[in-house]
Chains A and B, each alone.
Chain A
Amino acid sequence: MTMNSVGRLLNILDYALYALRRKLLKNVSVFCLFALVIFFLSSFLLVSKALTEAAQRILATAPDITVQQMSAGRQISIVASAANELSGIFGIEKIDERIWGYYFDESNGANYTVIGMRTPFVGSPAALQLGLAEGRLPALAEQGKVVISDNIRQHLQLGERKHFSLFRPDLSQAGFEIIGLFDKKLEIITADLILMTLADARDLFAIPEGYVTDLLVYVANPNEIDTVARKISDTLLGSRIITRNQILKTYKVVFNWRSGLGTICLLTALAAFVILAWDKASGLSQEERKEVGILKILGWQTSDLIFLRFCESLTVSLLAFLSGYVLAWVHVASFDGALFRPVFLGWSVVRPVFSLAPPFAVEDLLLVFTLSVIPYLCATAVPAWRAATVRADSVI
């Protein structure tokens, strides 16, 4: 490219900026609306992305394979001795038992998740991941010791007290002592969680001896998880086998699906905006027609005028894109995507209070760019041409 054509380009760009400033009010209103649409669109994408990341982080603590017993299409307790049948499968590192369920607190209408584990927590991989803000995890032989979240402590209105009780199915009371509090960073999983020993959970839910809710299988070689899962499925008939990878995929699909749904909703807003932009760009005032006429007499070509309009549209849309995206980022990172979080997480009494950290990826930028700037540029193409082909002798 010669210096001459660079100079021509710069001059047209300069004129475009000047023209934008002249029609300041019109351009600012287009900019604001466009930035708002982009803000909503990117917020949705960023919240979904951040939640997927969070799910991925949390699932690092999940077992490789979860084995549950099904009966008539519903999950029921599994015989703990089923673990013995699995011991012959090569590649299984360890099998754990777990009893878990939901405890409905009538006093405030909240549901708590109660989990009882057999493994001594101290030093186990799960324990290392489950960070505690204070206290310790219950040891294997301890009775009535639990770890809860600060959230539950507030719901139980415990204040500084350490002891509380829950009702067994026969309405007798089971007493517990709080020996630890979960770290706030893990709020997304621990918000409604009460962690205790297997024996305590069995006692609370009155689950008969020899039965557990599910079996947790750990596999030594991650490449063999699917194979081991298939063998378990062949061994334990009527069981449901879920791999960690599958849980993660399901989360991804669900979040993707919800962000897709949001995108569809916002697409109508985008379409409305694009029609508005088309309309704004189409209505040429007498003054604008005159301007084109004068420029043509001064020697501007049709292609120069089209390029001029393109520069104007590009400037407005790029500015709106950047502002909208940055605002969305601030919304998600600093305000935890407050506007859209209910859509993704649903609603419950014990709501997790956690912060989102959207990962930065160029592909997300490209996605929002294609979804917003490109339709806008397409919509302004025909009006730009129409404005550029006004004949000089017809307006002066």
Chain B
Amino acid sequence: MLLNSWSITLLVTSAAALFLAAGAVGTAIRTLRFWDSEADTARQIELENETWLSALLMQYGMVLQILALLLLVLAADNYSEILIGAMCATGAFLANEYGIPLLLVKICGIFLYGFWIVLHRLDISSERLPLTRIKYGYVLLLVPLLLADILLLILYLVDLQPDIITSCCGVVFGGAAGDGKNLVGPVPVVVLMVLFYGLAGLLFVGGLVLLRRADRGSFPGENIIGIVFSLLWLLFFALSLLVITAVISSYIYAMPFHRCPFDILKEEYYSVGYVIYFALFTATFFGMSAGLTTLFTALPDMRQAVASFRITALRLCLLLLPLFLLVVSWFPAVYLLGGGDR
């Protein structure tokens, strides 16, 4: 189903992202080959100038990724109106085997672009630009992701078959089996919720402790703690998506058998999904980058820059995590404590 405004827009977005990345990759290859921060040759000055371009392109890329994710979800919702047996965006994503991988690649894209921008900010905070090589090696890693993205998108769109009247014979009844499709089946709710709130509590306390420590200089095992903190955030992100889909969304819809992570974005449900996902994505992003940036403290000139970034990131984290928990817990709380919708 390529000939559809949504499909075309998604393709244009992916093509634009690829175009921007191509510009950055050119710079990356030149930088990896010729970068020498001590030199003052014309080539080095040229390369330093190009850093600005690649930063610009990557920032545009980041905005594009966010837009593309939003568009993909809206498009899926739109497709669901014309696909066999699709009730909402979930059905459209499950319509063929490429839908969910495409969604995951888009989500990864946002984080990976974001981390690059953090890296760039840290890099230019020092005159010696100590992270330049790492930064451009990273750009090259993004290329397979972008290629996978556009490939999955094309496969997904080509494989989508709209449900239309066929002139030869009776209707195609593929629909009945698809009714009430959910991304995940029933889950052990109590165990899941204990894990969810437990991990959230751990991350909050961990964030507080790290924030206290951040301005006091380094401490033993800093790197390992940083990595563990990031991994825990990643785990929390995945767990949150599961909890939103399997548990929370039914409370938002007031329908026990409707478990969909996408419909909460709709106006019928006060678009509360935007708040939930914004808080979750940003908190996870800053949580993970606060942890990962500890790896750079050992580099020359980086200690101060990393410390000040971590303080900002952890503060944002500690603000957004409770917001996320509050919004997410509100709907079940209304039911369990207040006795339901009135």
Contacts and interface: CB of A to CB of B under 8 A. Distances in A.
A267 B9 contact: no
Contacts of B20: 378, 381
Contacts of A230: 173, 176
A233 B169 CA distance: 10
A246 B164 contact: yes
Given A249-B81, A385-B53, A73 B168 contact: yes
B171 A367 contact: no
A260 interface: yes
A226 B175 contact: yes
Interface string B77-89: 0100110000000
A363 interface: yes
Nearest to B64: A374
A259 interface: yes
B176 A259 contact: no
Interface stretch (A20-28, A151-159, A201-209, A235-243): A235-243
B303 to A, nearest CB: 23
Most buried by B among A256, A363, A377: A256
Given A252-B82, A377-B60, A302 B9 contact: no
Interface in A158-199: none
A267 B12 contact: yes
A381 B3 CA distance: 29
Contacts of A384: 56
Given A257-B3, A378-B19, A389-B52, A249 B9 contact: no
Interface in A332-385: 363, 366-367, 370-371, 374-375, 377-378, 381-382, 384-385
Most buried by B among A241, A253, A382: A253
Interface stretch (B66-74, B111-119, B225-233, B255-263): B66-74
A92 to B, nearest CB: 16
B52 A306 contact: yes
A233 B2 CA distance: 32
Contacts of B171: 229, 233, 241-243, 246
Interface in A106-134: none
Contacts of A388: 52
B49 interface: yes
B37 interface: no
A230 to B, nearest CB: 5
Contacts of A370: 9, 12-13, 67, 71
Given A240-B170, A382-B23, A253 B82 contact: yes
Nearest to B6: A367
A263 to B, nearest CB: 5
A378 B9 CA distance: 15
B8 A385 contact: no
A303 interface: yes
Interface string B1-40: 0111111110011001001100100000000000000000
B165 A242 contact: yes
A264 B13 contact: no
B6 A253 contact: no
A272 interface: no
A252 B57 CA distance: 37
A328 interface: no
Contact of A260 (B4, B52, B163, B167): B4
Interface string B196-227: 00000000000000000000000000000000
A264 B52 CA distance: 34
A2 interface: no
A81 to B, nearest CB: 20
B137 interface: no
A261 interface: yes
B162 interface: yes
Interface string A25-57: 000000000000000000001001000000000
20 contacts: A227-B176, A230-B173, A233-B170, A249-B163, A250-B165, A256-B3, A256-B5, A260-B3, A260-B7, A263-B5, A264-B3, A267-B8, A366-B70, A370-B67, A374-B67, A378-B20, A381-B20, A381-B57, A381-B60, A382-B53
Interface of B: 2-9, 12-13, 16, 19-20, 23, 49, 52-53, 56-57, 60, 64, 67, 70-71, 74, 78, 81-82, 162-165, 167-171, 173, 175-176
